[in-house]
Amino acid sequence: MEMMSLMFVAMIVLLLLGFPMKIPLLVGSLIGFFLMFGSFEYAPFMIQQMLAGVKPASLIAIPMFILAADIMTRGHSANRLIDMVMAYIGHYKGGLAVSTATACTLFGAVSGSTQATVVAIGSPLRPKLLENGYHDSFVLSLIINASGIALLIPPSIGMIIYGGISHTSISDLFIAGIVPGLLLLVLFSMYSVYYAKKHNIPTIEKASHQRKWVMTKQAIWPLGFPLIIIIGIYGGIFSPTEAASTCVLYALILEVWVFKSLSMNDIIDSAKSSGLITAVVFILVAAGAAFSWIISYAQIPQTVMSSLGLVDASKIELLTVISIAFFVGCMFVDSIVVILILVPIFLPEIDRLELDKVLVGILITLQVAIGAVTPPFGCNIFTAVAVFRRPYIDVVKGLFPFILLLLLVVLLVILFPKIALFPLDFL
């Protein structure tokens, strides 16, 4: 217990001093290694664990999805999806807000990135929402929460990392996230309609049938992305990793040759940006693998479970504790880091109770979505602050109703696991 305390205290101190998360993870691992072995003579073993952490072939999907998302964010895919959604539901009461939530969900299914969705969908739609009478705090909260649905609708980088750590089928995780993601869309849409009626928000002009047809034709190409991922994987055409590389090729064909929205310089910039993000993610994964090895070797998970009185916990009790731990962790630290630290701690107990790892992965992903929008350090909050140039307090002011809806979905999935798992019965 003393070893664990020293590791976590050192990590927290380094975080408070402003070090990037990879440093606290590595320092915590080194402290644990030294306390176990008394020297660094066997340090190469830890390096082997770090290399093993980034070795799984499934992780190749991460840079591919990041690159595909970057290409589409720079191109015209987002605008075409927005125009199509607006043509069909924009004229209903609250339709503009519902269109925003739907467009965020569709682009999330295309890009797999919450931050990219905030930028690509939020930037063009926020002025329209404000012009139509919506309060800015509601608009900002709607955009960053609806963008979080991207974490549940495939592709999801968080699911890929969780699947790699827990040895869970990434394909099953992808398919199990769809219904909870769509449920969130429905709840956000219902709240948007309620808000529009309460504040007497005017409706916009109904699109003609001809405009709907034109907008649909323009959006058919971007809608191919989720079809590639879902039909391709479950039709046995290719693996999740191959689906990711196919999405990059599809994005390039779409934005460079079909839409002609990107130049060669744009592609180079996109590759550089994606390379930098990938490097950060993989350094974190490597550091997390070392940390996971240390705490497993020292039997820290068993100590933590015992100290929390969870050795004889029921399935629902353990799922509740996991949800609370990830909810609190993601409020303060990047979600990838929380997954890397907490999953190895809970994994032995998950295996002991024979919990469905796909269900656990969906609950963790839901908590990551909540953490991305929960003060004080939700990443989507700071993305909105930077992109829309609004004060922090304005961004967080309207979050509470959306967080309640997110927590409601978590509760429903815990009590009724089939909400997430029933699509797997058809595979």
Identify the domain containing residue 134 by its residue range: 55-426
Of the pLDDT bands very low, low, confident and very high (cuts 50, 70, 90), residue 179 is: very high
* Predicted pLDDT at 65: 85
Flag whether pLDDT at 236 surpasses 80: no
Looking at the 3D structure of the chain, how many domains does it have? Answer: 1
Q: Residue 110 domain-assigned? A: yes
Q: Flag whether the pTM goes above 0.75.
A: yes
CA neighbours closer than 13 Å in the CB half-sphere of residue 417: 14
Instruction: State how far the Cα of 142 lies from the Cα of 399, in Å rounded to an integer.
Output: 8
Q: 11 or 306: whose pLDDT is higher?
A: 11
Least-confidence region, from 182-186, 322-326, 403-407, 418-422: 322-326
* Predicted pLDDT at 301: 67
Residue 166's region, left for phi above 0, alpha for psi from -120 to 50, else beta, is alpha
pLDDT in tens, 292-306: 788 777 777 667 666
Of the pLDDT bands very low, low, confident and very high (cuts 50, 70, 90), residue 317 is: confident
Instruction: State how far the Cα of 49 lies from the Cα of 168, in Å rounded to an integer.
Output: 19
Measured in degrees and rounded to the nearest 5, phi and psi for residue 76 equal -105, 0
Flag whether pLDDT at 187 surpasses 90: yes
Flag whether pLDDT at 217 surpasses 80: yes
pLDDT in tens, 99-111: 999 998 888 877 7
Which tokens in the block code for residue 206?
């109904």
Q: Residue 139 domain-assigned? A: yes
pLDDT in tens, 253-286: 989 998 888 888 999 999 998 898 888 888 888 8
Q: Residue 39 domain-assigned? A: no
Q: 69 or 135: whose pLDDT is higher?
A: 135
Q: 232 or 402: whose pLDDT is higher?
A: 402
Helix, strand, coil: what percent of the chain each, to 5? 80, 0, 20
Q: Residue 347 domain-assigned? A: yes
Mean pLDDT value of segment 295-323: 75
Flag whether pLDDT at 21 surpasses 80: no
Least-confidence region, from 57-66, 102-111, 304-313, 362-371: 304-313
Q: Residue 377 domain-assigned? A: yes
* Predicted pLDDT at 311: 63
* Predicted pLDDT at 404: 94
Mean pLDDT value of segment 75-84: 85
* Predicted pLDDT at 305: 65
pLDDT in tens, 140-165: 999 999 988 988 888 788 898 899 88
**% of the chain beyond a pLDDT of 70:** 96
Q: Is the dihedral of CA 273, 278, 279, 284 positive or negative?
A: positive
Q: Residue 11 domain-assigned? A: no
* Predicted pLDDT at 304: 67
Question: If you average pLDDT over every residue of the chain, what do you get?
Answer: 85
Q: Residue 234 domain-assigned? A: yes
Q: If you compute the radius of gyration of the chain from its CA atoms, what whole number of angstroms results?
A: 22
Least-confidence region, from 151-165, 314-328, 330-344, 348-362: 330-344
How far lies 162's CA from each of 18, 91, 337, 394, in Å?
26, 40, 11, 33
Of the pLDDT bands very low, low, confident and very high (cuts 50, 70, 90), residue 362 is: very high
Of the pLDDT bands very low, low, confident and very high (cuts 50, 70, 90), residue 6 is: confident
Distance separating the N- and C-terminal Cα atoms of the chain:
44
Of the pLDDT bands very low, low, confident and very high (cuts 50, 70, 90), residue 222 is: confident
Flag whether pLDDT at 1 surpasses 70: no
Helices 95-111 and 224-234 pack at an angle, to 10 degrees, of 50
Q: Residue 1 domain-assigned? A: no
Of the pLDDT bands very low, low, confident and very high (cuts 50, 70, 90), residue 30 is: confident
Mean pLDDT value of segment 227-248: 82
Which DSSP string do the residues of 108-146 spell out, in sequence order? Answer: HHHH--HHHHHHHHHHHHHHHHHHTT--HHHHHHHHHHH
* Predicted pLDDT at 373: 86
